[in-house]
Structure 1
Amino acid sequence: MKVYTKTGDKGTTSLVGGQRVPKNHPRLEAYGTVDELSAQIAYLRDNLPERPPFETYRQTLLDVLDHLMRLSARLATEGDARKYLPAFGVGQVDFLEREIDTIQAALRPIDKFTLPGGHPAVSLCHICRTVCRRSERRVLSLADEHTVDPCVVPYINRLSDYLYVLGRKLSDDFGVKESYWVYDK
């Protein structure tokens, strides 16, 4: 099978189910940004060592990549075709909440904003977090005009929280000092 089909040469593409839409359709903006997020998360995962405790995070990030494919399929589908999609729902949101709670239990409380950096993997967490927040904005724009699965926004919101606490935990695991935003009034 050829990679190119030439069917998109005039600026349209097919959603799951066959409906053709412009390539700048809000659905494509939403799932395209989630696709970018997936690539960034894969890059973060590839930059974590394959040893404890990082192997646990690597597995969680692999699970997240699966979840994002399922979520993207929902964003790329309208109408009756949704019934053929792989499962995605509250279980994936709960998964992230458990991961967040586990990590947060091991972190010291803070009352300041953290600044990105200290280690390349920590910075990558923050890059992923910001792309995740952009994904959320794109999905919310889509939801203004079209139906969006009710678990998509909560999942993306939790994922940005997970990426934030993972960045804090990686600072600890790599033995780097967190930087905080301290401002004068």
Structure 2
Amino acid sequence: MVKLDVITTRGGDAGQTSLGDGTRLSKDAPRVEAMGTVDEANAAIGLLRLHCDEEADAMLGRIQNEMFDIGADLAVPGTAGERLRVSDAQSARLEGEITGMNAALPPLRSFVLPAGSAGAVHAHLARTAVRRAERAAVSLSASEEVNPAVIRYLNRLSDHLFVLSRCLNLAAGREVLWEPGATR
């Protein structure tokens, strides 16, 4: 159980922060960067929820909780002891949701511009933030141990948000496709 009684601790005033195992790291360390980028992506998903129907909002609410699980996974390096770890079952569920959403969409004949409805644009912003989090996790994994399920989940989540953006635009009748060379 998490208990946060004191928010202003002054513990980070010298440019360091604590991981879940008590280890102190510089706030610009790759692990802290990955955790912070996951947090930023989660905030973008929260903003997206303001533009979704009840069904999409429920999916995104669950995803936000899983993003906290990813943060917790990243916050405790290594594999020893009891740790909250992301699993491939979570990625598999995202894949199922992608398949379900995609079934209602027309086939793509061009790239989709991040435009159209407000919901779709927010889905694209969340998608790009998730891609940045994925890059940060991949970069971290080059030098430190990272649960590979974290990287797989972030990869699936960006796909999920892309398909959701298309669903939101379909509902609004506003999908915007790239027209190669249209302004030449």
Q: Whole-Å Cα distance in 1 between the matches of residues 39 and 10 of structure 2?
A: 21
Q: For residues 149-183 of structure 1, what are the alpha-carbon distances to aligned partners after superposition, in whole Å with 9 as ceiling and x for unaligned?
A: 0101110000000000000011111232x111111
- Does structure 1 residue 71 correspond to structure 2 residue 75? no
Q: Whole-Å Cα distance in 2 between the matches of residues 35 and 102 of structure 1?
A: 27
Query: 5+ residue gaps in structure 1?
Result: 49-53
Amino acid at match of 1:11: G
Output aligned runs, 1:94-113, within 5 Å: 94-113=92-111
Q: 1:162 is matched with which residue: 150, 160, 163?
A: 160
Counterpart position of 2:40: 36
Counterpart position of 1:84: 82
Q: Whole-Å Cα distance in 2 between the matches of residues 72 and 98 of structure 1?
A: 23
Amino acid at match of 2:87: G
Q: Whole-Å Cα distance in 2 between the matches of residues 21 and 102 of structure 1?
A: 42
Q: CA deviation at 1:8?
A: 1.2
Q: Which runs of 4+ in 1 moved over 4 A?
A: none
Counterpart position of 1:183: 180
Q: Whole-Å Cα distance in 2 between the matches of residues 11 and 87 of structure 1?
A: 27
Amino acid at match of 2:137: V
Q: Whole-Å Cα distance in 2 between the matches of residues 25 and 127 of structure 1?
A: 25
Q: CA deviation at 1:77?
A: 1.1
SS at match of 1:21: strand
Counterpart position of 1:136: 134
Q: For residues 64-115 of structure 1, what are the alpha-carbon distances to aligned partners after superposition, in whole Å with 9 as ceiling and x for unaligned?
A: 01111111111111235x6433352011001100000001111110121001
Counterpart position of 1:51: none
The answer on whether the counterparts of 2:41 and 2:130 sit within 8 Å (CA) in structure 1 is yes
Q: 2:24 is matched with which residue: 20, 23, 30?
A: 20
Q: For residues 128-152 of structure 1, what are the alpha-carbon distances to aligned partners after superposition, in whole Å with 9 as ceiling and x for unaligned?
A: 0111111111111100110000101
SS at match of 1:162: helix
The answer on whether the counterparts of 2:20 and 2:75 sit within 8 Å (CA) in structure 1 is yes
Q: Whole-Å Cα distance in 2 between the matches of residues 83 and 46 of structure 1?
A: 38
Q: CA deviation at 1:46?
A: 2.1
Q: Whole-Å Cα distance in 2 between the matches of residues 69 and 57 of structure 1?
A: 19
The answer on whether the counterparts of 2:131 and 2:158 sit within 8 Å (CA) in structure 1 is yes
Q: Whole-Å Cα distance in 2 between the matches of residues 104 and 170 of structure 1?
A: 12
Aligned length: 178
Q: CA deviation at 1:55?
A: 1.2
